[in-house]
Every structure is written in structure tokens, then in C-alpha cells.
């Protein structure tokens, strides 16, 4: 190795004098478990990529995380799906370095070196391809994540976002106001027979997927309502604040559902908590 740098300036030779031995390393084969880290680049000493390549592998995690911090497991799957082809190609190309620059036999190595010296036309270096270098080192993380978000990510996230309850009517009757800026719910009086009666709320996501939530009526209604005698007011109340919605029992203080009106956040449904 030192002989290859014999004609270099003294500073380079001085640096090489500190090297006692070359690094012995190996790449894991397909039979072993693999971990795709944040930075996936050709390992040293075969290839030393620029820092921009490492930066491009890190960007998708932060960009996707800023779009939806509530879905880390699904985002991990997305990052793996999004970056796996590039990482696999990089790893396979790195393995080729074992055969391209470091051949086992001396005659083969000498013949290979002659080809390398002949010129770029006969160069067997797989990194000489312009298209491959563009894929590896001109990767725009922000543009790629933005394209995935518009094509797939937004629709994927919207399927988990519950909308406001449908199928029941809201009442702002003076008979019962639990919250200052909230409202209670009313149902048809004919449906209220005893304390075992229940009311069902339907949450419809933006992908038209229904989520049903059945709530028992803890007490008889307070109706009928003055503005509509066929409707009776229940003790199920809701409060719609800034970027937040709460649905629950007025007296039992059980909150059955909370949803976020901001489409960039995730809502959820729970029986009691």
C-alpha cells in the first residue's frame, strides 16, 4: 500500500507512516440479520462518500416525522420502504469492491490495474456510471418525501382521522348547558324507553371508513325540546374548542372520544379513560 504512494509529497508519506496495518473487515451475508441505520453508505476503507450522502439518508426521518409525529411505527415502515432500494443498491455495490479493486490472484490484479490505467473507456469501476452517481449522491430528500406525501402519505394518514360525529343532532337548548361554548346531543324521544337505552355515534374518516361508538344513556332525557317536541335532550355533551373536540357523559364525567380538528393530527376513540 505504501509503495503505491511512493511518489507522493512528504506529508502524505508521513501520514502513511502512522498506519501500522490495514483494516480487516467483512460484510454480513444474506443469512444474517440486518439493520438499516440512519446512514447507509459504502463502508470504509473501500469508498468514502461525501457528507452530503450521509445527510441525504437522515433527512427523510426528520421530514416525515414533522409531517405526522403521531405515527412512528408506520413512519418507520414508510422509511424502510422508501429507502430500502437505494440502501440495498449501495450495499451490493460496496460488496463488488471486493472483486473490482481487490482481486484474489496477482495476475488478475495486474490485468485489472492495466485496464484501469488504460482509461475510462475500459474502466470496470461501477461508480463511474453517471446515472448511479445521480441516484446515490444527488438524492433530494425534501423533494422525494414531498412527492411521497402527496401521492401516498396524505391519503394513508387521512384514513385514520375521524371526523365529527354524524347521525345525531346537536342541541343548544337552555335546558342543559354543560360547557360554556359546547352543546348537548338530542335524539328522538321515541327511542328513549328506560335507563338501558343507548345512543350510537358514527365517526366517518376522510376515506369514508365508519367508526361506530355506542354510549349508554345514564339517565332519562331532559326533553322534549321547546324548538322540537319530538326530540329529547340527552346527557351526552360535547365541547368544541381550539383544535380539539370532546364527547362524553355530562354527569358521569366519562369522556368517550377525543378528536383533533386539525387534519395534520391523529384522533382516537376510547370507551372510558
Asked if 49 contacts 131 with a C-beta cutoff of 8 angstroms, the reply is no
Global pTM value: 0.26
135 with 24, same domain: the answer is yes
Per-residue pLDDT, 249: 56
Q: What is the Cα–Cα distance from 105 to 100, expressed in whole angstroms?
A: 12
Average of pLDDT values for 139-161?
72
223 with 132, same domain: the answer is no
114 with 203, same domain: the answer is no
133 with 194, same domain: the answer is no
Task: Specify the 3-state DSSP secondary structure of 164.
Answer: strand
123 with 32, same domain: the answer is yes
Q: What is the Cα–Cα distance from 133 to 126, expressed in whole angstroms?
A: 10
List the alpha helices (DSSP H) in 72-229. Answer: 72-100, 106-118, 130-137, 141-148, 154-158
Which of 126, 158, 190 terminates a domain? The answer is 158
Which of 125, 158, 191 terminates a domain? The answer is 158
Q: What is the Cα–Cα distance from 73 to 267, expressed in whole angstroms?
A: 16
121-158 in b/e form (b: 16+ CB < 10 A) is eeeeeebeeeeeeeebeebebeebbeebbeeebeebbe
pLDDT at 121 over 50: no
Per-residue pLDDT, 15: 86
Domain range enclosing 226: 162-269
* pLDDT, tens only, 219-257: 545 667 777 777 776 666 655 544 445 555 554 445 555
221 with 95, same domain: the answer is no
Share above pLDDT 70 across residues of the chain, in percent, rounded to a whole number: 27
Length of the chain equals 273
pLDDT at 12 over 80: yes
Task: Specify the 3-state DSSP secondary structure of 170.
Answer: strand
149 with 201, same domain: the answer is no
Average of pLDDT values for 94-101?
69
Per-residue pLDDT, 110: 77
Residue 272 has which C-alpha cell? 372510558
44 with 166, same domain: the answer is no
* pLDDT, tens only, 46-65: 444 444 444 455 555 555 55
Q: How many CA atoms lie within 13 A of 202 on its CB side?
A: 9
* pLDDT, tens only, 64-76: 555 655 555 666 6
pLDDT at 260 over 70: no
Which of 134, 158, 182 terminates a domain? The answer is 158
262 with 193, same domain: the answer is yes
Whether residue 4 lies inside any domain: the answer is: no
Per-residue pLDDT, 120: 45
* pLDDT, tens only, 194-225: 545 666 665 554 555 555 666 666 554 566 77
Whether residue 22 lies inside any domain: the answer is: yes
- Kind and range of the H or E element at 54? helix 51-67
pLDDT at 190 over 60: yes
**Residue 171's pLDDT band (boundaries 50, 70, 90)?**
very low
Per-residue pLDDT, 153: 72
Per-residue pLDDT, 237: 61
Read off φ and ψ for residue 15, nearest 5 degrees: -65, -40
**Residue 41's pLDDT band (boundaries 50, 70, 90)?**
very low
Q: Smallest Cα–Cα separation from 156: which of 86, 204, 205?
A: 205
Q: What is the Cα–Cα distance from 204 to 160, expressed in whole angstroms?
A: 10
112 with 168, same domain: the answer is no
32 with 139, same domain: the answer is yes
Following DSSP, what letter does each residue of 224-254 receive, concatenated? -BTTBTTEEEEEEEEEEETTEEEEEETTT--
Q: What is the Cα–Cα distance from 260 to 246, expressed in whole angstroms?
A: 9
Amino acid at each position: 500500500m505504501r509503495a503505491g504512494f511512493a511518489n507522493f509529497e512528504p506529508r502524505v508519506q508521513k501520514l502513511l507512516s502512522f498506519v501500522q496495518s490495514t483494516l480487516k473487515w467483512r460484510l454480513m451475508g444474506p443469512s444474517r440479520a440486518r439493520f438499516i441505520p440512519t446512514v447507509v453508505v459504502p463502508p470504509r476503507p473501500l469508498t468514502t462518500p461525501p457528507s452530503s450522502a450521509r445527510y441525504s439518508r437522515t433527512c427523510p426521518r426528520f421530514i416525515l416525522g414533522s409531517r405526522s409525529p403521531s405515527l412512528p411505527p408506520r413512519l418507520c415502515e414508510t422509511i424502510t420502504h422508501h429507502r430500502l432500494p437505494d440502501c440495498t443498491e449501495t450495499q451490493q455495490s460496496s460488496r463488488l469492491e471486493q472483486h473490482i479493486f481487490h482481486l484474489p490472484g496477482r495476475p488478475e490484479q495486474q490485468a485489472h490495474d492495466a485496464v484501469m490505467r488504460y482509461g475510462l473507456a475500459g474502466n470496470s469501476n461501477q461508480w463511474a456510471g453517471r446515472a448511479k452517481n445521480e441516484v446515490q449522491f444527488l438524492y433530494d430528500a425534501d423533494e422525494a418525501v414531498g412527492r411521497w406525501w402527496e401521492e401516498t402519505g396524505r391519503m394513508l394518514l387521512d384514513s385514520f382521522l375521524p371526523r365529527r360525529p354524524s347521525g345525531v343532532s346537536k342541541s343548544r337548548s337552555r335546558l342543559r348547558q354543560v360547557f360554556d361554548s359546547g352543546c348537548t346531543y338530542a335524539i328522538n324521544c321515541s327511542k328513549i324507553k328506560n335507563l338501558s337505552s343507548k345512543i350510537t355515534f358514527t365517526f366517518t374518516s376522510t376515506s369514508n371508513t365508519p367508526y361506530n361508538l355506542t354510549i349508554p344513556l345514564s339517565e332519562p332525557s331532559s326533553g322534549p325540546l321547546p324548538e322540537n317536541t319530538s326530540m329529547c335532550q340527552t346527557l351526552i355533551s360535547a365541547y368544541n374548542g381550539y383544535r380539539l373536540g370532546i364527547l362524553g357523559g355530562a354527569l358521569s364525567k366519562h369522556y368517550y372520544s377525543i378528536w383533533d380538528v386539525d387534519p395534520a393530527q391523529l384522533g382516537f376513540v376510547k370507551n372510558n379513560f
